[in-house]
Amino acid sequence: MDIKVMLWTTGVAFLIAVILGPLFIPFLRRLKFGQAIRQEGPQSHQKKSGTPTMGGMIFLAALTITTLKFSDLSFSTYLLLFVTLGYGLVGFLDDYIKVALKRNLGLKARQKLLGQIILGVALYIVMNYAGLIDMKINIPLIDTPLNLGFFYLPFLVLMVIGMSNAVNLTDGLDGLAAGTTAIAFGSYAILAWWTSNMEVAIFCAAMVGALLGFLVFNVNPAKVFMGDTGSLALGGALATVAILTKTEIYVFLIGGVFVAEVLSVILQVISFQTFGRRIFKMSPLHHHFELIGWSEWRVVGTFWTVGLLLAVGSLALYLKP
């Protein structure tokens, strides 16, 4: 019965997103909420200038409606929606400043980081108040959990911030972030169902459907971009799901594509500032493959495949007898 509910949740979320797309995209066009493309990015991307952004509101609306409809509205449900929509709000403010106020960089870095920190600390406080905080983390292939004690607070905050920014960095090609996160949430839907954490499973199932519906309009050539509104929300949600299922380390395996994107940026900066040389033609990593001649479809398809293999491998590792 639980599987049927999850499938219904995914299907309804997909339909809502597909219905909302044709209503929302023209609205964004009328408001002239078009994406400005960075001049320092690949020149092939300049043709995407003006494509409506802030489309993350499409799948966030589908997610919220479907989760509230099919879940039992437990504490975990509200917590997941709070973090997801909270990070979505930070991203919305960033997008709004970029496209409506015509400030290309959006929120200042410290303003965005402050909002992310506040939400991360709020997540810890609320979970601690509800008695859901466990200072131990489970490490793959090791039977005894590692007790972080007081250090679990900074670990949790850094994890949520890191994952939200990792998905944000991944959102650079049509369908790339939406597809890889759909795969990650799909694996977590299975993991949560397996561990009888049905409220998290329903949330993940709703997210998968909402993202697949959004992909109808986001695959190349994209009719709409998710913007920071969507990417920050997705990363925050993925980290929170990992925290609630006590798979904090596994999220770095399931979301290995996002980790690789972040590492490519970090390594590029360190190499250039230290040695004056670049490791990659351009970071994040997906741009490197574009600049060595891969088509956008090939990059996205390859990253989706890698994400799927990582998700399947991580599930096999977690569910091993």
Q: Which residues pair with 34 in a beta bridge?
A: 52
Q: Is 143 annotated as a binding residue?
A: no
Q: Cβ atoms within 10 A of the Cβ of 49, count?
A: 11
Alpha helices in the chain (DSSP H): 2-30, 56-70, 75-99, 109-129, 152-170, 176-194, 198-218, 227-244, 250-254, 256-275, 285-291, 296-318
* CA 206/CA 186 separation, integer angstroms: 10
Crossing angle for the helix pair 176-194 and 296-318, to the nearest 10 degrees:
10
Which amino acid belongs to residue 166? A
Q: Supply the Cα-derived Rg of the chain in whole angstroms.
A: 19
DSSP class of 72? -
Q: Do 60 and 229 meet the contact criterion of CB atoms below 8 Å apart?
A: yes
Segments making up each domain of the chain, as ranges: 2-247
With tokens 């099919």, the residue in question is: 70
Whether the ω angle into residue 221 lies within 30 degrees of 0, i.e. cis, is yes
pLDDT at residue number 100: 74
pLDDT at residue number 104: 63
DSSP class of 102? -
Q: Is 94 annotated as a binding residue?
A: no
Q: Do 233 and 62 meet the contact criterion of CB atoms below 8 Å apart?
A: no
How far is C-alpha 120 from the chain's CA centre? 15
The structure's pTM equals 0.94
* CA 260/CA 252 separation, integer angstroms: 10
206: exposed, middle or buried (C-beta count within 10 Å: 0-12, 13-18, 19+)? buried
Q: How confident is the prediction along the chain (321 residues), in pLDDT tens digits per residue? A: 588 999 999 999 999 999 999 999 999 888 777 666 555 555 555 566 778 999 999 999 999 999 999 998 899 999 999 999 999 999 999 998 888 776 666 688 899 999 999 999 999 999 999 888 889 999 998 888 999 999 999 999 999 999 999 999 999 999 999 999 999 999 999 999 999 999 999 999 999 999 999 999 999 899 999 999 999 999 999 999 999 999 999 999 999 999 999 999 999 999 999 998 999 999 999 999 999 999 999 999 999 999 999 999 999 999 876
Query: Could you tell me the CA-to-CA distances from 137 to 221, 235, 242, 245 in Å, in that order?
Result: 41, 19, 11, 11
* CA 17/CA 24 separation, integer angstroms: 10
